[in-house]
Structure 1
Amino acid sequence: MPPMLTARTPASTLRIAVALALATAVSLGLARFAYALLLPPMRSDLGWSYLTGGAMNTVNAAGYLVGALLAPACLRRFHARPVLVVSAVLTSVLLALHGAARGDAALYGLRFLTGCASAGTFVSGGLLAARLASGPAVPPGLVLGIYYGGAGLGIVAASLLVPPLAGMAMPGAWQWAWAALGAAGLCAAAVTARATRGWQDDATAAGAASPFELRRFAFGLAGYFCFGLGYIGYMTFIITLLREQRFGDGLITAFFTLLGLGTVLSSWLWAGLLQRHRNGVPLALLNVLLAGATLLPVLSRHPVAVFASGAVFGGVFLSVVASTTALVRHNAPPAAWSRGISAFTITFAAGQIIGPSGVGWVADGPTGLVGGLAASAAVLLLGALLAWRQKALV
């Protein structure tokens, strides 16, 4: 039997955590957040409204929800590591196929399937990270922060790959950017597979039938739903807003890179907070910070305000996801972690389904994207109020 993902030396624990983080880079950084960079050239080339542009991410989130619903059954049948690796490879292939599509129907289908595959990557990786964090070698909050902060690596990669490719003086240049994202994803998946070779989570433990009491986590789930609803509007449309505000390619690349680096560093910023609190305080505090970051580019076009927004948003938003895994770990038995993480992932996905189209619908009205992002900030503040009421259960 291969060794479990439990107590290790600090070096090996961190090495595995970073390898798992590369899978997050694929499932979130490349498969979802890179779309913000691609939306302006695709919208211009394909004649999309804001609603259509947002609907592409709504369909992606719907696929993510389906994948999250299917994940527990996959984890009961297979080891978590194979689910992680296969899902990451499939996600990358689907990203590359975006480069071969121009019709809306084909792109909707690819966004949906990419969402399904990326959910398998994210849920299985989250389970492995939670079990890895159970060992005494490294503080659990740091392990979870590294895993979820891996999305920042994907954001940085996207910020370096997409603008020069999508900006080429040729028809459909954005298609080459999708192909490059797929290639980058395959490289990341290969590294994850190699670095975790010989390490498996016990399939029975991963899918053990221990109940997860949804009712006792109601306020946490509600706050997390509002997070999914609110944050995705920013991550879908912020680059489009900056384009409308006449930010050039260099500034946009720097902004998105800063956002990605903030996401990577967030594992160190918030590890202590996630470890100290067993209630909804981390989720509430982080939602408040996100609301403020979302409002900054609404209130001011000054580059300092915009870059501060990106730095704060990047340094916070994936730590919200980590906070829910920490909440499950603190308050549920290990045999219920799989179902708990899946429950929060499903809630997250449901919010993301509504968010992009909702913001796009508002943005097509008289207030434009400024109004859409202001609505996102209001939803995040509501999420903070709900999360604040989540009590520790043990």
Structure 2
Amino acid sequence: MPKRSLRPDTELPPTAALVVPGLAVIAVTYGLARYGYGLYLPQFRTAFGLSAGTAGAVAAGSYLGYCAAAVVASGLVGTGRARRALWVAGGSAALGSLLVAVAWNGWSLAAGALIAGSGAGAATPALVAAVAGTVVLPEQARAQGLVNSGTGAGVVVGGLLVLSIPEAWRWSWAGFAVVALLATAWADRRTRWASVPDGPGGSGLLGPEGRAQIGRLGRPLVAALLAGAGCAGVWTFARDLLTTDGGLSAAVTGLLWCLLGAAGLVGGLSGVLVRRVGLRAAWRGTVVAAAAGTALLGALPGSVVPAALALACFGSAFVALSGVLIAWGAHRTPDVAAAAAAILFIGLTVGQAVGSVALGLATGAAGAPAAFLAAAALLVVSAAAAEPREGP
């Protein structure tokens, strides 16, 4: 039985004691520090004169920073230092958000977005390990899904900020930095950290145990890459599409972004979905729903009701498919669940990085609606990589 440290009490805390602060960490690292770039893209393009291609490249840089942080965090988790991984997550989100807040040109904005977005990469493996070490086994799948739904909560907060103070983006990003540190400290206090590595001989993605898992994650990794490329359309360009092509006001697009985030909270039930219908059906259902939302948004960006339906569909589906990936990785490699989650989320993020660049170029060449239809097609293709009926 692994020894636990850093908490004086002897009883495991209730699930909610970690789920709420864990959700807060995901909310600020994903929903604000990472996806806040897409939310504030219209303001950034105005302030720094960014083209669609440049905007996509900046988003890709933040996604690649995410991947690097995920590798580092996986190594920390694999050597029994998951608490440090959590602080890498919160610290990166805070530092990058602060740099965005004081950005003076496009290059400084890109650097801030890269650092801020990287925090999310460390958050996932750190919190997978935190839940595994703190929550009793029967409750872990549900707890992981609920923590993962924090993305939606963060998106709601970001949308409300844009709605209420659209021009005060610098102060908003400075606030993200403060919240990142507070949420990290809260989650740290509520976690019962393991004093042994995650899994036998675990040493993260770069160690022998981590490398051995990549071959066992081939199918979900391909699925994650394709889905990430398709999801980049909404996360990077949705608000710009609604504003530029759709002609909707800042107030309306802010409300729609809140709806996107609120729908993501429903995706926190991904653990229940997997138990009810299985990995195969859960994956196919969530990516097809995300594709439907993406296609509808690209086709009717100027119509408020269809756009609302599209973003609600996409928001719930994206958070759910992220939760399905966590469950899929744990199913294939149960002894190193945190490393598996890091690998699959890296795949999802590499897909988003490539998708951001490709869709940015496609937007410049053929227009945003066509690029969104291409993104939807990628999501449909990712459904073909679902778990075979006969099992792994």
Letter in structure 2 aligned against 1:392? G
- The Cα of 1:248 is off from its aligned counterpart by 1.7
In structure 2, the gaps of 5 or more residues are: 203-208
- The Cα of 1:222 is off from its aligned counterpart by 0.8
Q: TM-score, normalised by structure 1?
A: 0.88
> Do the aligned partners of residues 60 and 295 (structure 1) sit closer, same or farther apart at CA in structure 2, a change above 3 Å counting?
same
Task: Tell me which residue corresponds to 1:39.
Answer: 41
The correspondence of residues 278-357 of structure 1 with structure 2, limited to 5 A, is 279-300=279-300, 301-334=302-335, 336-357=336-357
Tell me if the contact between 1:81 and 1:125 (Cα under 8 Å) persists in the aligned partners: no
Of 47, 50, 65, the match for 1:48: 50
> Do the aligned partners of residues 78 and 87 (structure 1) sit closer, same or farther apart at CA in structure 2, a change above 3 Å counting?
farther
CA distance in 1: counterparts of 2:223 and 2:30, whole angstroms: 20
Tell me if the contact between 2:80 and 2:194 (Cα under 8 Å) persists in the aligned partners: no
Letter in structure 1 aligned against 2:85? V
1:17 alignment partner, SS class: helix
- The Cα of 1:154 is off from its aligned counterpart by 0.9
Q: TM-score, normalised by structure 2?
A: 0.88
Q: What is the CA RMSD across the aligned residues, in angstroms? A: 2.5
Task: Tell me which residue corresponds to 2:148.
Answer: 148
Task: Tell me which residue corresponds to 1:73.
Answer: 75
Tell me if the contact between 1:166 and 1:175 (Cα under 8 Å) persists in the aligned partners: no
Tell me if the contact between 1:126 and 1:147 (Cα under 8 Å) persists in the aligned partners: no
2:45 alignment partner, SS class: helix
Letter in structure 2 aligned against 1:292? A
CA distance in 2: counterparts of 1:96 and 1:143, whole angstroms: 30
1:113 alignment partner, SS class: helix
Deviations along 1:268-321, one digit per CA (max 9) or x if unpaired, are 3x3322224554332222110100010112222321111111111111101111
- The Cα of 1:216 is off from its aligned counterpart by 3.8
Task: Tell me which residue corresponds to 1:170.
Answer: none
The correspondence of residues 1-394 of structure 1 with structure 2, limited to 5 A, is 1-2=3-4, 12-130=14-132, 132=134, 135-136=137-138, 138=139, 140-167=140-167, 173-196=168-191, 199-205=192-198, 208-209=201-202, 210=209, 212-244=212-244, 245-268=246-269, 270-276=270-276, 279-300=279-300, 301-334=302-335, 336-365=336-365, 367-387=366-386, 389=388, 392-393=391-392
Deviations along 1:11-53, one digit per CA (max 9) or x if unpaired, are 7112212221111112211111111221001102211110111
Tell me if the contact between 2:216 and 2:333 (Cα under 8 Å) persists in the aligned partners: no
- The Cα of 1:156 is off from its aligned counterpart by 1.2
Letter in structure 2 aligned against 1:184? V
Tell me if the contact between 1:363 and 1:371 (Cα under 8 Å) persists in the aligned partners: yes
CA distance in 2: counterparts of 1:363 and 1:265, whole angstroms: 30
- The Cα of 1:387 is off from its aligned counterpart by 2.1
CA distance in 2: counterparts of 1:21 and 1:124, whole angstroms: 12
Letter in structure 1 aligned against 2:61? V
Letter in structure 2 aligned against 1:294? T
